[in-house]
Amino acid sequence: MGNNINNKSKSNINSKARKLATAKAKALAGSNAKKKANEKSNSRAYSKKSSRGNIKVHLSKKASKKIFVVVVAIVLVLAICAGLIYWKRPDMFWQGYAWVQDLFDRNDNQSNPLTLGEGELQIHFIDVGQGDCILILLPDGKSMMIDAGNGSNSSTYLSSTLDYIDDYLADGIIDYMMLTHADSDHCYFIDEVIAQYDVNTFYMPNILSTRADDRISNASIAQFTDDDTIDTICYANFFNSALLEADAEIVLNIGTIVIETENYRLTCYCPTAEFWENNSLSTAEKKNAISPIVILEYNGFKVVLTGDSNEINEPIFMDRVGEPVNCDVLKVAHHGSETSSIPSFLDFVDCEYAVVSVGENDYGHPSVDTLDRLAARDMTIYRTDQNGNIILSITSTINFSLAKSE
Ligand SMILES: [Zn+2]
């Protein structure tokens, strides 16, 4: 086991680690840029060449002026209609907006094929009791953490988690850190992890904490555009730690975020702008539904990570992706809750293995019905409450290593 990291401070991270930090390339992440076709216009705008022959249609300046006026009039009418719909029926406006955005997103999904990598990709489902904490070690040496919390606010899992990740993050750096949503079973001790490591890029909900630290700049606060706020101390600790982390980039979980190299790709399907506009986080189900659904691809294998996704956002994910995806491993959403892992979603991702991150709880997680749905699809099920820390390793094959068998 590694050193006791409780005694470690950032200032103690050795100079080698610092050099590594500066040498590392800046995060490749960011919103997937919309590809815009370059429409060329030139002085020949008045003439049109037939694709069959060389017949040229010459338009007079007067005719082209008429066409210009008609086009401007159409654009104006459309803009006025859009304005009226937004005024009278904002729900319909945002539905239309989402439809247009989905068209672009689907084009974005036609991503480049990946080449085979020689290294190993590891995903550690760390046993934090009732909660989630996932450490991903990417084959190029970069690291990602998704969530770090415990629903009973137990400090037992804080020290065991810090000890555990210390064995794998020798350079003191976490390249990417994502918080899926603000519940304590996902964020209870994530600030403690931030205190021990240098984080390069944060991916976080578009939600302000009501307890934002005064030292956070107005510009940083202005990034958060949703009307919802969260007032828990747990979220405030994460929020303030992330926004005050020196030299860290903040990326909000909106739209489609892609992190990729030539041989691995993480595609994060976050809530769309439309989702944020139309949904107040008034219920636990809605708070959970902001969880991004992430597909991690490497060497022909696909792993699906879900946070606490549920019957609200699983259909949104399927609609955005379009065609079913043949995946291999599913991090079962929301600790195996009955209202997550709906049958159509399980069929859509079509996985062979399931990992449930779960501990003692009063919610009946994982539900018998959900486990039955997984079993009905012949999935092999691993559980952190029965198997402890679970390591998924992907090279040219896929392998699970369990801290304990049942
Ligand atoms: Zn949870």
Ligand 1 centroid distance, CA of 377 (Å): 24
Q: Has residue 260 been placed in a domain?
A: yes
Identify which has the larger pLDDT, 139 or 75: 139
Identify which has the larger pLDDT, 80 or 352: 352
User: pLDDT confidence of 338, banded at 50, 70, 90?
Assistant: very high
Ligand 1 centroid distance, CA of 46 (Å): 61
Ligand 1 centroid distance, CA of 112 (Å): 33
Ligand 1 centroid distance, CA of 380 (Å): 21
Q: Has residue 311 been placed in a domain?
A: yes
Ligand 1 centroid distance, CA of 187 (Å): 9
Residue type, 79: A
Q: Has residue 73 been placed in a domain?
A: no
CA distance 57 to 54: 10
Q: Has residue 230 been placed in a domain?
A: yes
Ligand 1 centroid distance, CA of 222 (Å): 28
Q: How many CB atoms within 10 Å of residue 52?
A: 6
| pTM exceeding the 0.85 threshold for the entire prediction | no
Identify which has the larger pLDDT, 232 or 64: 232
User: Average pLDDT in the 111-130 region?
Assistant: 94
Ligand 1 centroid distance, CA of 185 (Å): 5
DSSP secondary structure letter of residue 256: E
Ligand 1 centroid distance, CA of 294 (Å): 16
CA distance 304 to 270: 13
Identify which has the larger pLDDT, 51 or 274: 274
User: pLDDT confidence of 66, banded at 50, 70, 90?
Assistant: confident
Ligand 1 centroid distance, CA of 19 (Å): 36
User: pLDDT confidence of 98, banded at 50, 70, 90?
Assistant: low
User: Average pLDDT in the 208-215 region?
Assistant: 98
**Domain residues for 203?**
12-32+116-402
Q: Has residue 137 been placed in a domain?
A: yes
Q: Has residue 261 been placed in a domain?
A: yes
Ligand 1 centroid distance, CA of 178 (Å): 14
Ligand 1 centroid distance, CA of 179 (Å): 11
Ligand 1 centroid distance, CA of 384 (Å): 14
Give the number of domains in the chain: 1
3-state secondary structure of 88: helix
> Tell me, what's the pLDDT at 329?
98
Instruction: Tell me the per-residue pLDDT of 144-177, one tens digit each, with 9 for 90 and over.
Output: 999 999 988 777 899 999 999 999 998 999 999 9
Ligand 1 centroid distance, CA of 308 (Å): 5
Question: DSSP per residue over 223-246, as a string?
Answer: T---S-EE--HHHHHHHHHHHHST
Q: Has residue 1 been placed in a domain?
A: no
CATH number at residue 184: 3.60.15.10
Q: Has residue 76 been placed in a domain?
A: no
User: pLDDT confidence of 58, banded at 50, 70, 90?
Assistant: low
Ligand 1 centroid distance, CA of 131 (Å): 5
Ligand 1 centroid distance, CA of 234 (Å): 14
> Tell me, what's the pLDDT at 278?
84
